[in-house]
Chain A
């Protein structure tokens, strides 16, 4: 099967520094890949390069097709990006915000058609937001807002979903809710997911594979057991951790330095 995402020697230079350097990745359709790594490792920049928001050297293929950031609309029908801190204009209603996700399916000066209103309605139903349709974004809680943002990405109907720290603003329970939801949507629609994640234990439990980035390079790629070892984490995060394994699941726990 053709990979959903194929990156060959992808590099991004931002303000003179190499933010992403020689990244080689291949993600299968329907797979969930988590990008992990310390702050500034290049996770966000790599996601932005895949979404065509920064120009990148090297080759990116999406579903076998060469990635062309100049053809914005086409790209937006293939890739949906949920940024870490999405802009949620407080006076917009949930319906209006989710309808914005239909933009790549509407002509430049066009208006939403029935198909778009239905697709947005379907996305709203699937995320359990029907009761919120007329609510303003400003009146929602963080967890509700996160679901609205996901609904917009879902309305975009792109087979590849890029999530930048999807749970960073949420409490523990809402983090699990959001990730379960992503997993469910991925399984139902066959979406390919790439998410940048801070919480290594959650990353290991939800993603099929993990890619550890450090200084713009992928330094480890594989399953949670393969990537999440105390040595690799100590090496690039400069953190002391204990890694516990239970029923094939991996938990990464920080432990106070020198007392382990």
Chain B
């Protein structure tokens, strides 16, 4: 069946994941973690933090005072860990939605996924406050997110069967508005939990706990693993449904797998961090611009850069109006909206 390979042909390679960029992204993440651990109203030197980390790892006595140790390991570190997880997830999900829908404007926030997950999570917080810290919260968020993305896709497809970039996003924004209405209605009705929901929905990592980190870690780990495994399939999908099919890919199955995985992870992230938009636009597009348009580079680099990006954004949110904390979603939107405008201008209206 196979055509004979003539003697001595040279191999060709795809650009894949350039090692230098991978190293650079890793350094960026490490730097972001260090900044996240050191910057704050209480000055604690990086050297002391490193020593106390070492001490904790090997069960020695921490060189920090009890109070400083708590600030670093019970306040800052969970925020860094949660910010990293949420940022990596939103960036990888954004890249994956862009690849599956072949739409450069796709983002969990603009597809309504985040808002759907928010509505799902609000139902739990408002009606079952006792369950708010359990597995039920990410699960409800996931159901809400999946309903939203399915509705956005169906609506967008019925408007433009060719899948124009604009139609899907307009559909997503429509669904997002509706989900936000449901969410706000529930929030106002249950005024006793209003404060809690309101603080959560604006998006924040300031109240982050290790409990929240452990709650979302498995979901995000599974979701990110599935999406990374699909990086070559995302490249194949870039030639469109028909041609990917003629190359032997079951496009419908691949789409469902990728969208469900991205939605699971996004919903878990939303459940603990509230609505944080544009990370899924800023990070993957920066990588596209600087490194490569192949998802074999975009997906793994989005993971590292997305994590570092949100950790730094959180530091900014906590310091810019110090001692007040700015909702992190406000900071990402402040940078993300102009960025989105640039991507919009560069996008041919018909698609990627």
Contact = CB atoms under 8 A, between A and B. Distances in A.
B11 interface: yes
Contacts of B342: none
Given A92-B294, A114-B11, A86 B247 contact: no
B10 A121 contact: yes
A112 B11 CA distance: 11
B238 A73 contact: no
A5 interface: no
A53 B294 contact: no
A89 interface: yes
Chain A interface: which size bin?
Answer: 35 or more
Interface in B315-337: none
A118 interface: yes
B9 A125 contact: yes
Which interface residue of B238, B244, B294 has the most chain A CB atoms within 10 A?
Answer: B238
A103 B352 contact: no
A83 B240 CA distance: 11
B1 A159 contact: yes
Interface in B1-56: 1-6, 9-15
Interface residues of B, number: 36
A125 B294 CA distance: 23
Contact of B11 (A48, A92, A117, A156): A117
B65 interface: no
A99 B10 CA distance: 13
Contact of A89 (B6, B12, B239, B250): B239
Contacts of A77: 1, 248
A96 B248 contact: no
B294 A121 contact: no
B99 to A, nearest CB: 11
Interface in B194-250: 229-230, 232-233, 235-236, 238-240, 242-250
Contacts of A51: 246
Interface in A121-150: 121-122, 124-126, 130, 133
Interface in B261-300: 288, 292-294
Nearest to B254: A108
Contacts of A10: none
A101 interface: yes
Nearest to A124: B12
Interface centre among A52, A96, A112, A119 (most CB of B within 10 A): A96
Given A108-B233, A117-B12, A122-B9, A72 B245 contact: yes
A157 interface: yes
Contact of A80 (B235, B239, B244, B246): B246
Interface string A73-108: 111111111010011110111011011110110101
A100 B239 contact: yes
Contacts of B292: 91
Contact of B238 (A48, A89, A159): A89
Contact of B233 (A109, A119, A120): A109
Nearest to B5: A122
A118 B247 contact: no
A156 B2 contact: no
B236 A100 contact: yes
A109 B229 contact: yes
A48 B245 CA distance: 11
B245 A118 contact: no
22 contacts: A52-B246, A53-B242, A53-B245, A76-B246, A77-B1, A80-B246, A81-B243, A87-B238, A89-B352, A100-B247, A103-B244, A103-B247, A103-B249, A104-B247, A118-B9, A119-B5, A122-B5, A126-B6, A133-B12, A154-B3, A157-B2, A189-B3
Interface of A: 48, 51-53, 72-81, 83, 86-89, 91-93, 95-96, 98-101, 103-104, 106, 108-112, 114, 117-122, 124-126, 130, 133, 154, 156-159, 189
Interface of B: 1-6, 9-15, 229-230, 232-233, 235-236, 238-240, 242-250, 288, 292-294, 352
Given A53-B242, A76-B248, A87-B238, 7 more contacts: A81-B246, A91-B293, A111-B232, A118-B5, A124-B12, A126-B6, A133-B12
